[in-house]
Chains A and B, each alone.
Chain A
């Protein structure tokens, strides 16, 4: 199945990945080939089949609602690109 330049630009924005003009042509071919490969799926009759999300069909376990972790803000922020007063710094979002 072909994928258009327009589709690639849209998906790249959804995925938050900047894609340059010259890369779009390469991606058109590569993603088109991958989608051709996965289009084989359409040949399978799955009208009576439930989708499978977990190999053992396990469900999420619940645990008692008690505190198990201690606060490690300093340790976690020590590896952040930019912090100030215990907050993560990013470019201005609200004017």
Chain B
């Protein structure tokens, strides 16, 4: 049952072949038996899940079911869940129980989906390996001691290990696509503003975007159908109609124009990775797509721009954690300043503190123009590169990450090496474009992801392209577990 996709489980529920209670119990059993190996979950909400499953079964009997009614899934632990603790992978929020739901949480709840728990992540979504979590690292189901990527590594590992058929995730610089690639699953980061950020614990507000982690493009389309839409509670969410993202999945790809950025396919890229990705792109040519080289001239500046903008926004967003209103407070503060400085020193981990300090520096008197303003200008140059490229092609393709899953501990001592993990994914966030990672091959027994970047609001096109690829390949069906 755990090898079925969301689409298949939805049919099984509708036909009465299985009940949501049975399905929920099955996945909860898998989590209980196997998650000690992966540490994909921070919190498992067994009782609430079984209650929700019972309600879902009743709703289906009343003929009021949606395709998601009774489907088990997990939330990345930065989506606020009313009454269920939401830690963001941090000691700062170890005991934080939100008094409200994120909009994404409400939407999935209203559709009748059954949340089994909250998944592990890099602290405050800052990282590419899920090693910076206060609750311990997550392990990639594909290899002992391999990282699952990050920051949504818990969600990715849980889907890959068949502990849930789907999970929510967020992507600020690659945090959906890179772990999806490293764990061999399908990840979608929609256009900035497509999904409400209300109730998502903020990291870098002009870059953060929620998305989906599933095994197939069809499941991703089904999930986006529920999650997307304008929300008056998020002033940056876009007021634009939500299409049925499953409607165009079966369209043929004949005439699709694919661009390969020459700045991404350089000598720096390992020959095996380049070949694996080119083999995947050859499948698209067989499906009728035309491939051409394109240029993103400012691609080499994306990491630099990101590591000013993201820390600057993080330093502002995380100033709310002051020990006064919720979250961690240090013991016996001697005065207000001592309370602030020790609460934050003790409550945040080292990567979060590093980024707050870099961001504070970039925003401080005398440095604002040289760093923050300059980075915002370079950000526009990067966006303009994409606008020019989408005048010539429909989808841009590249590897999702420079290499498959690396060994735990390999990059933790050098922040800059870890940052380079997101070299192909970060510019998409800076431009605000939608992008996916789909399983596209194997290297040394580890999955490789193909990244596909589309023009603004072209999620249906990306999902169509990913779905057609998954009709002629079986990389997305490879599994690290029985």
A residues apposed to B, CB below 8 Å = 3, 7-8, 10-19, 27, 30-31, 33-35, 37-44, 46, 49-56, 58, 60-61, 63, 72, 75-76, 78-82, 88, 90-93
Cα of A61 to Cα of B415 in the assembled complex, Å: 38
Question: Would you call the interface of chain A mostly helix, strand, loop, or mixed?
Answer: loop
* B389 nearest CB across to chain A (Å): 15
7 contacts between A and B (CB under 8 A): A10-B364, A11-B357, A41-B378, A44-B374, A54-B432, A55-B193, A76-B99
* A1 nearest CB across to chain B (Å): 10
Q: Is the CB of A88 within 8 A of B415?
A: no
Q: How many A-B residue pairs have CB under 8 A?
A: 168
Q: Which residue of A lies closest to B318 (CB)?
A: A15
A-chain residues with CB within 8 Å of residue B327 when the two chains form the complex: 81
Residue from the list B339, B356, B432 in contact with A56, Cβ < 8 A: B432
Asked if B472 lies at the interface with its beta carbon under 8 angstroms from chain A, I say no
Interface size for chain B: under 10, 10 to 19, 20 to 34, or 35 or more residues? 35 or more
Q: Is the CB of B354 within 8 A of A27?
A: yes
Asked if B61 lies at the interface with its beta carbon under 8 angstroms from chain A, I say no
Q: Which residue of B lies closest to A54 (CB)?
A: B206
Asked if B416 lies at the interface with its beta carbon under 8 angstroms from chain A, I say yes
A-chain residues with CB within 8 Å of residue B353 when the two chains form the complex: 17
Q: Is the CB of A90 within 8 A of B360?
A: no
Cα of A53 to Cα of B374 in the assembled complex, Å: 12
Cα of A38 to Cα of B329 in the assembled complex, Å: 33
Cα of A15 to Cα of B344 in the assembled complex, Å: 9
Q: Is the CB of A60 within 8 A of B235?
A: yes
Q: Which one of B106-114, B282-290, B297-305, B441-449 is at the A interface?
A: B297-305
A-chain residues with CB within 8 Å of residue B433 when the two chains form the complex: 55
* A51 nearest CB across to chain B (Å): 3
A-chain residues with CB within 8 Å of residue B236 when the two chains form the complex: 54, 58
Q: Is the CB of A79 within 8 A of B326?
A: yes
Given contacts A15-B356, A37-B304, contact A51 B193 (CB under 8 A): no
B-chain residues with CB within 8 Å of residue A40 when the two chains form the complex: 300-301, 304
Q: Is the CB of A12 within 8 A of B357?
A: yes
A-chain residues with CB within 8 Å of residue B360 when the two chains form the complex: 11, 14-15
Q: Is the CB of B303 within 8 A of A37?
A: yes
Asked if B81 lies at the interface with its beta carbon under 8 angstroms from chain A, I say no
* B457 nearest CB across to chain A (Å): 10
Cα of A2 to Cα of B375 in the assembled complex, Å: 19
* A44 nearest CB across to chain B (Å): 5
B-chain residues with CB within 8 Å of residue A75 when the two chains form the complex: 99
* A27 nearest CB across to chain B (Å): 7
Within 8 A of A (CB), among B428-442: 430-433
Asked if B390 lies at the interface with its beta carbon under 8 angstroms from chain A, I say no
Q: Is the CB of B358 within 8 A of A44?
A: no
B-chain residues with CB within 8 Å of residue A10 when the two chains form the complex: 364
Q: Which one of B40-48, B148-156, B330-338 is at the A interface?
A: B330-338
B-chain residues with CB within 8 Å of residue A80 when the two chains form the complex: 324-326
Question: Would you call the interface of chain B mostly helix, strand, loop, or mixed?
Answer: helix
A-chain residues with CB within 8 Å of residue B377 when the two chains form the complex: 44, 46, 49-52
Residue from the list B304, B322, B323, B345 in contact with A19, Cβ < 8 A: B345
Asked if B373 lies at the interface with its beta carbon under 8 angstroms from chain A, I say yes
Residue from the list B305, B333, B357 in contact with A17, Cβ < 8 A: B357
Q: Which residue of B lies closest to A42 (CB)?
A: B374
Residue from the list B235, B356, B381 in contact with A44, Cβ < 8 A: B381
A-chain residues with CB within 8 Å of residue B430 when the two chains form the complex: 55
Asked if B55 lies at the interface with its beta carbon under 8 angstroms from chain A, I say no
Q: Which residue of A lies closest to B233 (CB)?
A: A68
B-chain residues with CB within 8 Å of residue A27 when the two chains form the complex: 354, 357
Q: Output the residue of B303, B354, B358 with the most chain A CB within 10 A.
A: B358
B-chain residues with CB within 8 Å of residue A8 when the two chains form the complex: 357
Q: Is the CB of B307 within 8 A of A37?
A: yes
Residue from the list A17, A56, A61, A63 in contact with B192, Cβ < 8 A: A56
A-chain residues with CB within 8 Å of residue B308 when the two chains form the complex: 38, 41
Q: Which residue of B lies closest to A89 (CB)?
A: B324
Q: Is the CB of A39 within 8 A of B304?
A: yes
Q: Is the CB of B336 within 8 A of A91?
A: yes
* B244 nearest CB across to chain A (Å): 23
Q: Is the CB of A78 within 8 A of B99?
A: yes
Q: Is the CB of A90 within 8 A of B336?
A: yes
Q: Which residue of A lies closest to B307 (CB)?
A: A38
B-chain residues with CB within 8 Å of residue A54 when the two chains form the complex: 206, 236, 432
B-chain residues with CB within 8 Å of residue A44 when the two chains form the complex: 298, 301, 374, 377-378, 381
Cα of A11 to Cα of B319 in the assembled complex, Å: 13
Asked if B265 lies at the interface with its beta carbon under 8 angstroms from chain A, I say no
B-chain residues with CB within 8 Å of residue A42 when the two chains form the complex: 370, 374
A-chain residues with CB within 8 Å of residue B335 when the two chains form the complex: 91-92
Q: Is the CB of B361 within 8 A of A7?
A: yes
Given contacts A12-B357, A55-B192, A56-B238, contact A30 B99 (CB under 8 A): no
* A76 nearest CB across to chain B (Å): 6
A-chain residues with CB within 8 Å of residue B278 when the two chains form the complex: none
Q: Output the residue of A7, A37, A53, A61 with the most chain B CB within 10 A.
A: A37
